């Protein structure tokens, strides 16, 4: 944004008044209730308006659509938006792609893409994992080679959602094979709509297809689309992953049937009541145990947030993903136990079985996706408890000599 | 109740931690657990001086006037240090029962001594069945005002052998009552029970025509008992959570220091993953215990459920952490000289003291409407 004028520092009350006044003048709840809610023209226009008014990323500097607000003041903005149910703010906290680009992108790329990303005009995807590089992401073998003013990319990526519609993918690729694995990586914004990019949907164990394989064959990336320095891709990736982790855990999906159990009651108690097994003393113990897992996770999260608000970091924050894995797998097991033979069935006539069976499979989305539970335990052990790392046999070896497979 | 700020709570935690570091180190605990009384009278005097014996007793009766939040945090430190003391029996369970019953004469007479730590009181509730419900009461009272006599058995009475005052639950013809009994009276036979947790003192008490005086109750007697149990459960949850976290800490320290195969054993994922799982358990226990304390302090509608949750979650977290700790240490923790088994013993005791985890899980699902 080149027309940025510095904004005068404002008090909390001034911020609150300004954002509330702006919302009163501009927010129209029908944006969310119109037929095309979520992706429609009215929604897009609203988001663009929020960006224009500098409410989309108020923590960001004024030259990049922001207001340079403190975290506390930005929370005031978010609370005011939430109060009226308006979307679009808080992107400086949640917009993975825009945050990564702002932090590491070239001026040219920022000028070209930050606005459209904030406005939701372009779709992004992640080109991280490969068939040969899952937990060991630094072992990627997709190669990017400089050729004049652009890089030529060859390789295969996997677990890419929204790849079919994406305009750009955040790509981690190897640009130097003669240094140890973490040092030879670079990070790019790869244009997806080009002949060298082929997207094939993956069929999941849930029989859904949320992810794709992406085949890169002589795909082209302009040199200005490099984020960070050449060979510094691992550090850019850590920046991006930090944003991703900060919004994870909010998105885990529960049962999918959408057929509500009795309102107001704990769903597992309602399910057992409906199935006629609520009197079973062993199931009662099991139900109490699984409800407790959920409640304890909520209490841990609340405690971590309170600690964070006081400026102290909490070891509890890192435990949420592990806790969520257990909750999902245990709830799936328990729902199956409650249903008994009914869990043999599937389809729309058997919504309770659908719930239990879907959850049984989709629980792995959380216990494998975004780093397996086992990797998460390593991270907790090493970063929170300070235990030493496993020796890494490939750490100081030129990547060319490292075993793959 | 006195208003206590977050800063004051932090200071309270620090001073308790310092005192226990100096006077309830492992060697002190081992010394205390080998004594007949099971606690160090000098340390108990110091704790009383700090106001901890009467922490939750009202200021009018010589107490500190604190509430569940302060009790929970003190008990976290007590659990971490394996403190041997009659605090839970006397200053919490018995004192809160007196408060809940609301017999002003008895409060005025008994609470100041309890708060000063000069008198040890305890509650005799359950019989040989060991169930902490009205059905568990196995003492009966006959006679009437001025001449009550007790018959029967109370067991698992915390510090019964050390008590100066016994508050005995007994069934009379007009229902359940709380009776004050002089432990030295004729017809009272107190036998110390051999406990698996050597830092704990339990007694079995037989009553054969024992003279007793009935305490007045402002409301239903069991409600008062439940109120006292609720506060004691908050304290116990804090002890379990603090104990679990301390055990994890010294286990992780050992995993960093112990070298096998040329590496610290904590670098092996087999050990690291156990430690990570225990962090989830012990931090969840801390969350549960503090949540129960908060809910009770606020008299929240979900307080009883929060206490049930803490009761079983903290019990199982402490039990699992202590058990896993021994496995993670290996041979060294199979020796008497290593402290891990002392915590395991405490964890197993705490998990039964007011009823087992399964009992509180059942109570929890009922409280949630199931």
What is the pLDDT, as a whole number, of residue A1?
45
- Residues A311-336 have pLDDT tens digits of 666 677 779 889 999 999 999 999 99
Residue A4: pLDDT over 80: no
∠ Cα B305 B241 B359 (to 5°): 40
Mean pLDDT value across residues B300-316: 97
Mean pLDDT value across residues B209-233: 97
Q: Do B365 and A281 touch (CB under 8 A)?
A: no
Q: Based on DSSP, count helices (H) and strands (E) in chain B, helices before strands.
A: 11, 9
- Residues A189-212 have pLDDT tens digits of 999 999 999 999 999 999 999 999
* Least reliable range by pLDDT among A38-52, A106-120, B111-125: A38-52
Question: Beta strand pairing status for A143-147 and B188-193?
Answer: unpaired
Confidence of residue A256 (pLDDT cuts 50, 70, 90): low
What is the pLDDT, as a whole number, of residue A2?
45
Residues of chain A contacting residue B267, judged by C-beta atoms under 8 Å apart: 387-391
Helix (H), strand (E) at residue B181: strand B175-181
Q: How far apart are CA A352 and CA A343, in angstroms?
A: 8
Q: Does B198 touch chain A (CB under 8 A)?
A: no
Residue A224: pLDDT over 60: yes
Question: Beta strand pairing status for A143-147 and A150-160?
Answer: antiparallel
What is the pLDDT, as a whole number, of residue A154?
98
Tally of CB atoms within 10 A around A59: 19
Confidence of residue B366 (pLDDT cuts 50, 70, 90): very high
Beta carbons of A189 and A170 less than 8 angstroms apart: yes
Question: Beta strand pairing status for B165-172 and B175-181?
Answer: antiparallel
Mean pLDDT value across residues B244-273: 97
Q: Which of residues 278-317 of B touch A (CB under 8 A)?
A: 279-280, 283-284, 286-288, 290-291, 309, 312-313
Q: Does A242 touch chain B (CB under 8 A)?
A: no
Mean pLDDT (chain B) is 97
Q: Which of residues 240-259 of B touch A (CB under 8 A)?
A: 252, 255-256
Mean pLDDT value across residues A151-174: 96
- Residues B153-196 have pLDDT tens digits of 999 999 999 999 999 999 999 999 999 999 999 999 999 999 99
What is the pLDDT, as a whole number, of residue A262?
53
Those residues with Cβ within 8 angstroms of residue A352's Cβ, 6 or more apart along the chain or in another chain: A257, A259, A271, A274, A275, A335, A339, A342
Q: How near does any CA of chain B get to the CA of A176, in Å?
A: 30
- DSSP-derived secondary structure for B200-247: --EEEEEEEEEEEEEPP-SS-HHHHHHHHHHHHHHHHHHHHHHHHHHH
Mean pLDDT value across residues A244-260: 55
Q: Do A387 and B271 touch (CB under 8 A)?
A: yes
Residue B288: pLDDT over 80: yes
Q: Which of residues 249-288 of A touch B (CB under 8 A)?
A: 265-266, 269, 272-273, 278, 281, 284-285, 287-288
The segment(s) of chain B belonging to CATH 1.10.540.10 are: 6-116
What is the pLDDT, as a whole number, of residue A254?
57
A372-382 burial: b if 16+ Cβ within 10 Å, else e: ebebbbbbbbb
Q: Give the chain B residue whose CA is nearest to the CA of A302.
A: B287
What is the pLDDT, as a whole number, of residue A35?
59
Confidence of residue A31 (pLDDT cuts 50, 70, 90): confident
Q: What is the DSSP letter of B364?
A: H
Distance from chain centroid for Cα B228? 11
The segment(s) of chain B belonging to CATH 2.40.110.10 are: 121-219
Q: Which fold has domain A124-231?
A: Butyryl-CoA Dehydrogenase, subunit A; domain 2 (2.40.110)
Q: How near does any CA of chain A get to the CA of B332, in Å?
A: 20
Q: Which fold has domain B222-367?
A: Butyryl-CoA Dehydrogenase, subunit A; domain 3 (1.20.140)
- Enumerate the domain spans of chain A: 12-94, 124-231, 267-369
What is the pLDDT, as a whole number, of residue A392?
86
ipTM of the complex: 0.94
Mean pLDDT value across residues A224-232: 96
Q: How far apart are CA B333 and CA B327, in angstroms?
A: 8
Q: Give the chain B residue whose CA is nearest to the CA of A387.
A: B266
β-bridge mates for residue A155, sequence order: A216
Residues of A assigned a catalytic role:
244
User: To probe the interface with B, which of A291, A295, A302, A338 has the most B CB atoms within 10 Å?
Assistant: A295
CATH, domain range B121-219: 2.40.110.10
Q: Does B133 touch chain A (CB under 8 A)?
A: no
Q: Which fold has domain B6-116?
A: Butyryl-Coa Dehydrogenase, subunit A; domain 1 (1.10.540)
Mean pLDDT value across residues A338-350: 96
Residue A39: pLDDT over 90: no
Candidates A357, A125, A351; CA nearest to A260 is A351
Alpha helices per DSSP H over B24-103: 26-34, 41-49, 68-80, 95-101
Mean pLDDT (chain A) is 90
B335-353 burial: b if 16+ Cβ within 10 Å, else e: eeebbbbbbbbbbbbbbbb
Candidates B114, B80, B82, B116; CA nearest to B95 is B114
What is the pLDDT, as a whole number, of residue A247?
63
- DSSP-derived secondary structure for A303-318: HHHHHHHTT---GGGG
A108: left (phi over 0), alpha (psi -120 to 50) or beta: alpha
């Amino acid at each position: 944004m080149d027309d940025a004028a510095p904004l005068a520092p404002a008090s909390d009350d001034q911020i609150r008044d300004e954002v509330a006044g702006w919302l009163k003048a501009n927010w129209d709840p029908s944006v969310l209730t119109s037929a095309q809610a979520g992706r429609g023209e009215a929604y897009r226009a609203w988001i663009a308006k929020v960006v224009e008014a500098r409410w989309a990323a108020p923590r960001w500097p004024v030259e990049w659509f922001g207001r340079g607000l403190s975290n506390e003041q930005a929370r005031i903005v978010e609370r005011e938006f939430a109060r009226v149910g308006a979307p679009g703010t808080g992107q400086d906290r949640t917009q993975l792609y825009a945050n990564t680009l702002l932090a590491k992108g070239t001026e040219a790329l920022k000028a070209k893409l930050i606005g459209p990303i904030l406005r939701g005009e372009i779709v992004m995807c992640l080109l991280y994992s490969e068939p040969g590089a899952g937990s060991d992401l630094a072992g990627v073998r997709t190669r990017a080679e400089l050729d004049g003013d652009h890089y030529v990319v060859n390789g295969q990526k996997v677990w890419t959602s929204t790849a079919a519609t994406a305009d750009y993918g955040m790509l981690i690729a190897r640009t130097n094979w003669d240094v140890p694995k973490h040092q030879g990586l670079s990070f790019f914004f790869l244009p997806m709509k080009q002949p060298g990019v082929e997207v094939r949907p993956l069929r999941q164990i849930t029989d859904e297809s949320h992810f794709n394989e992406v085949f890169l064959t002589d795909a082209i990336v302009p040199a200005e689309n490099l984020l960070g320095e050449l060979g510094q891709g691992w550090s850019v990736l850590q920046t991006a992953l930090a944003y991703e982790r900060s919004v994870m855990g909010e998105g885990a999906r529960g049962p999918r049937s959408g057929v509500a159990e009795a309102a107001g009651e704990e769903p597992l108690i309602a399910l057992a009541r409906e199935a006629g097994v609520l009197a079973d003393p062993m199931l009662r113990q099991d139900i109490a145990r699984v409800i407790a897992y959920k409640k304890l996770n909520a209490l841990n999260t609340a405690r971590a947030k309170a600690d964070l608000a006081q400026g102290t970091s909490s070891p509890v924050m890192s435990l949420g993903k592990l806790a969520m894995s257990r909750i999902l797998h245990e709830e799936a097991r328990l729902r199956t136990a409650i249903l008994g033979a009914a869990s043999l069935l599937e389809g729309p006539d058997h919504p309770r079985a659908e719930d239990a069976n879907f959850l049984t499979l989709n629980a792995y989305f959380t216990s494998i996706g975004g780093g397996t539970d086992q990797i998460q335990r390593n991270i907790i052990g090493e970063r929170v408890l300070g235990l030493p790392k496993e020796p890494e046999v490939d750490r100081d070896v030129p990547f060319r000599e490292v075993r793959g497979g | 109740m006195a208003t206590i700020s977050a800063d004051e709570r932090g200071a309270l935690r620090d001073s308790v931690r310092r005192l226990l570091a100096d006077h309830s180190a492992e060697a002190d605990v081992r010394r205390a657990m080998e004594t007949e009384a099971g606690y160090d009278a000098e340390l108990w005097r110091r704790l009383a001086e700090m106001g901890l014996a009467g922490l939750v007793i009202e200021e009018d009766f010589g107490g500190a006037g604190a509430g569940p939040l302060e009790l929970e945090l003190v008990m976290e430190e007590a659990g971490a240090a394996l403190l041997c003391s009659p605090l839970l029996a006397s200053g919490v369970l018995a004192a809160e029962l007196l408060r809940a019953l609301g017999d002003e004469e008895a409060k005025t007479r008994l609470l100041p001594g309890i708060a000063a730590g000069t008198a040890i009181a305890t509650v005799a509730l359950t019989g040989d069945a060991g169930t902490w419900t009205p059905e568990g009461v196995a003492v009966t009272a006959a006679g009437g005002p001025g001449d009550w006599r007790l018959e029967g058995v109370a067991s698992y009475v915390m510090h019964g052998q050390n008590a100066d005052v016994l508050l005995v639950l007994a069934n009379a013809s007009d229902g359940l009552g709380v009776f004050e009994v002089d432990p030295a009276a004729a017809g009272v036979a107190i036998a110390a029970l051999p406990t698996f947790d050597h830092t704990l003192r339990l007694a079995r008490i037989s009553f054969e025509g024992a003279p007793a005086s009935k305490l007045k109750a402002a409301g239903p007697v069991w409600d008062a008992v439940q109120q006292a149990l609720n506060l004691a459960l908050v304290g116990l949850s804090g002890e379990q959570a603090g104990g679990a976290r301390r055990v994890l800490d010294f286990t992780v320290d050992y995993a960093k220091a112990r070298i096998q195969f040329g590496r610290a054993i904590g670098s092996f994922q087999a050990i690291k993953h156990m430690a990570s799982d225990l962090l989830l358990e012990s931090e969840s226990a801390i969350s549960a215990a503090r949540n129960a304390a908060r809910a009770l302090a606020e008299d929240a509608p979900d307080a009883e459920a929060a206490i049930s949750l803490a009761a079983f979650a903290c019990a199982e977290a402490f039990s699992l952490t202590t058990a896993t700790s021994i496995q993670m240490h290996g041979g060294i923790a199979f020796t008497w000289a290593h402290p891990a088994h002392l915590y395991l013993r405490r964890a197993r005791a705490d998990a039964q003291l007011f009823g087992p985890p399964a009992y509180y899980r059942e109570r929890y699902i009922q409280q949630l409407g199931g």
